[in-house]
Structure 1
Amino acid sequence: MLRANFDATLSLLLFLVFAVTSVTALVMAAMARSDAYRAADKQTKNFWLIILGITVVVNLLLNILFLSIAGLIATIVFFVDVRPALKAVTGGGGGKRGGSSSDGPYGPYNGGR
């Protein structure tokens, strides 16, 4: 009985993780500009929308573990490789909007002068 509950909980947790990450990646891929993919020298926006869309469908409708894991790998590749390259090209580098490395949150740091 305890084993069955554990298996059901683990299965539900994996389903939620796979579904949330794939939907998040699909939304992020859709929000990026098409020319940013070319500028970052990555596959096209349509390619990533198709791959991540298939991943979302597999995770939400089919729920086949092997295909879900393959989709998770594609999602991880998007998050680790494609998304940082797109952010670098479009200038979305973690909140820094120009300025020097000595800039603080309220302006340049002058060393206490």
Structure 2
Amino acid sequence: MTEHERRKDERQERSTQVNFELTFKNEAGHAVKQRCETLDISKSGLRVHLSCQLPVGFITELCIENNKGQLMLLYAEVRWCKQAGQDYECGFELLDAEHSDLAYWVEQASA
């Protein structure tokens, strides 16, 4: 089965700044915030370009600003992460969590 056949939703190429608030601490014990950019999105996930590697299975909060300047809080699980030059590309599956803006994300991703 190809990667395209496994997808639940159609992907749209879309570049959006994403602010990750990761729940782990670095070696110095400081909280890590990682800015990254989406490469494509769908109703159920997104592919992003970022400067650090994330472990598969890692669950994090995503704070995403749409083109109207509105912020959405989403929760996502890292499904894959691979090196892309000196940086990384990671695929996230969005989770239906309490207090998330998943319904609004789905509406925006479909527009």
Normalising by structure 2, what TM-score?
0.22
More strand by share: 2
Q: Whose relative contact order is higher, 1 or 2, with alpha carbons under 8 Å and at least 6 apart?
A: 1
More helix by share: 1
**Bigger Rg, structure 1 or 2:** 1
